[in-house]
Structure 1
Amino acid sequence: MKKILVTGADGFIGSHLVEELVKSGHKVRAFVFYNSFNTWGWLDTLPNNILNEIEVMTGDIRDPNGVRIAMRGIDEVYHLAALIAIPFSYHSPDTYVDTNIKGTLNILQAARDLDTSRILVTSTSEVYGTAQYVPIDEKHPFQGQSPYSATKIGADRLAESFYRSFSTPVTIVRPFNTYGPRQSARAVIPTIITQLLSGKEEIKLGLLSPTRDFNYVKDTVNGFLEIAKRDKTIGEEINIATQREITIGELARELIRQINPKARIVCEEERLRPEKSEVSRLLGSNEKIMHLTDWRPVYSLEEGLNETIGFFRKNMGKYKADIYNL
């Protein structure tokens, strides 16, 4: 079994990944964001039999020394630490550069110096911008339509440069929109669910016409694990996608149907993105991942939404449904 570091382990996807790695018998070091409350994010909610098997290390991905210490003795790194909220990137782009680009550089530099055997750098479908053709494969052009996506493009290209310049064993893993239990309220599915479960009959959203390709979080995590198993994925950029799209409006209506059919959708101007920044269509190709690995999506959107609703019913106290979460 390998010694694995997960950065961003306190977050949504990271906590699910840590949990699955422990269940698979790996030794896991979880790198979480230092804070004076000594909280470990979603790791704090894991059962004790899982949590007791994790080595938790607090720090800041922007600090090269802390990153280097965290990576000592590590075989593989799953790098998920990032700032991801698009609206907040309009407000604080400097922070996104420091976290997403410089943070990734810290991982790559340490991996090169420490001869780390494998690094998976987490990308995002937002790097493609609005689809110029569908399904979007890994050869699709990049377009930075928000400061967030621009910094993720920068991080990806740094990862590519280290592979090409120094033979650093990097894979760029590019999930399309992931959803499920533990997701933050700034994402669209938790936004809709929390408003519905709080009893609201006016569900406030932004633009309804964009389409997204939604991965249930367990399928995304399995994509990471399958990619990491194979040496032929080193040096590659690989989508994790269902190759199925749905509009935000259709998604909202399905959740309304499941939770409160009396609710209606209201478009709130505060939630609209600048016209040229909004990504109108994302529909990913999963041909490459299915060719290189044994990965297949297991969960339908309907199944994933059902499990996600169940989680939020039990955890509404952790969410603020009355405010717009940037």
Structure 2
Amino acid sequence: MDLKNKHVLVTGADGFIGSHLTEQLVRSAKHVKAFVHYNAFNSWGWLDDSPLDIKRQLEVISGDIRDPHAVKQAVRGCDAVFHLAALVAIPYSYHSPASYVDTNMKGTLHVLQAARELEIEKVIHTSTSEVYGTAQSVPITENHRLQGQSPYAATKIAADQLATAFHCSFATPVAIIRPFNTYGPRQSARAVIPTIIGQVAAGKKKIKLGALHPTRDFSYVKDTVNGFIKIAESEQTIGEVVQIGSNFEISIGDTARLIAEVMGAEIEILTDEQRLRPAKSEVERLCADYTKAKLLADWEPVYGGKEGFRKGLRETVDWFVTAENRRAYKVDEYNI
């Protein structure tokens, strides 16, 4: 699929990854619709901060992914759909699991049903590495077993299975992208890297975190966005799950220490009990094998390995240390 000649829709365009992807698609596609969550403030989320030339080229639609009529109206006239709209905060899924069912499962159903009825050329559905639970073997391939260790993960597994079912049952041209832990500018404060950077940037020496021993495979947002586009463009990805990761794992504790090094700060790490997941819900280890992405979509990380991670952290820090960019973040409050 050549995106240059296509009309595309991005659901969740107002979010962290969605806003970066939307901006890149404006530079790559013929016409881009951005589906953002309706709110009384007429806010487009992070798209409000996009360059003016980007916003002028966007068609922004405010709605709710839980409303099938609104979704179908947004999908109409498009050739491809990038489906990112979801609730993603794991701690909040313990508090309000029903909202995750409505948004992540039913929302995905609405996108798939609209794509089927309107005969969309391709749907790129967004999964997550959390569907694997704690790694049983590393590096993790797409054939690793699925295990929902949180309500969030369970709803994402269900959404992935719906996408696969629509492809198998109705030949809906779906590709599933499964990013590992994406980080970068604009990421929510509830994520670990912005949490660390925000506390250090605020001058705090004692950094409050949850569990320090779990390992993660962090992917810089530019790599993730490039993965979306590569998977959309490749005909070989239809009906496939393709994961995006760096094949480099690092513990949360070592991540905090590396961030402090990048920021030239000395820190002491404290365990904050409210930030700990229930013991059986904690995902202890994640590390991606991106062989399939390279084979089917000619994708590989630019920010891979420890030095790539350090480079991505520097770019992320540069964004967060700008006071104007931090205005929406409440460093002193734990945000579930």
Q: Normalised by the shorter chain, which TM-score bucket?
A: over 0.9
**Does residue 317 of structure 2 align to residue 313 of structure 1?**
no
1:122-201 matches, cutoff 5 A: 122-201=126-205
How many angstroms apart in 1 are the aligned matches of 2:142 and 2:30?
A: 30
Distance 1:139 1:168 in 2: 22
- Tell me which residue corresponds to 2:101: 97
- Whether 1:54 and 2:58 are equivalent positions in the alignment is yes
The Cα offsets for residues 231-267 of structure 1, whole Å up to 9 and x where unpaired, read as: 1110000100111100000000011122253321000
| Partner SS state of residue 144, structure 1 | coil
- Give structure 1 regions of 4+ aligned residues with deviation exceeding 3 angstroms: none
Do 2:182 and 2:220's aligned partners in 1 also have CA atoms closer than 8 Å? yes
Deviations 1:89-146 (A, max 9, x none): 0000000000000000000011111001100000000000000000100000000000
Q: TM-score, normalised by structure 1?
A: 0.99
| CA-to-aligned-CA distance 1:58-90 (integer Å, 9 cap, x gap) | 000000000000000010000000000000000
Aligned to 1:303: 311
Q: Deviations over 1:187-208 (max 9, x none)?
A: 0000000011011111000000
- Which residue among 68, 74, 80 is the counterpart of 1:70? 74
CA distance in 2 between counterparts of 1:5 and 1:25 reads: 10
1:322 match: 332
Q: Give 1:1-326 correspondences, 5 Å limit.
A: 1-299=5-303, 300-314=308-322, 315-326=325-336
Q: Contact (CA 8 Å) 2:180, 2:243: kept in 1 or not?
A: yes
The separation in 2 between residues aligned to 1:262 and 1:49, in whole angstroms, is 41
Give the length in aligned residue pairs: 326
Corresponding letter in the other structure for 2:316 = T
Alpha-carbon deviation of 1:24?
Answer: 1.6
Equivalent residue of 2:281, what SS?
A: coil
Structure 2 CA distance, aligned partners of 1:15 and 1:322?
26
Asked if 2 retains the 8 angstrom alpha-carbon contact of 1:181 and 1:312, the reply is yes
User: Identity rate of aligned residues, in percent?
Assistant: 60
On the 8 A contact 2:8/2:29 being kept in 1, the answer is no
2:247–2:290: 8 Å Cα contact kept in structure 1? yes
How far apart are the structure 2 equivalents of 1:26 and 1:16?
17
Offset from partner CA, 1:159-204 (integer Å, 9 cap, x none): 0000000000001110000000010101000000001101111100
Structure 1, unaligned stretches of length 5 or more?
none
Deviation at 1:12, TM superposition (A): 0.3
Rounded Cα–Cα distance in structure 2 between residues aligned with 1:55 and 1:94: 31
Cα distance in 1 between the residues matched to 2:235 and 2:37: 30
Task: Tell whether the 8 Å contact from 2:262 to 2:310 is kept in structure 1 after alignment.
Answer: no
- Name the stretch that deviates more: 177-186 or 313-322: 313-322
Q: Work out whether residues 196 and 260 of structure 1, in 8 Å CA contact, stay in contact via their aligned partners in 2.
A: no
Distance 1:42 1:320 in 2: 16
Cα distance between partner residues in 2 of 1:204 and 1:260 = 18
Is residue 7–residue 29 contact of structure 2 (8 Å, CA) maintained in 1? no
RMSD over equivalenced CA pairs, Å: 0.7
Matched residues in 1 for 2:326 and 2:216: separation?
A: 25
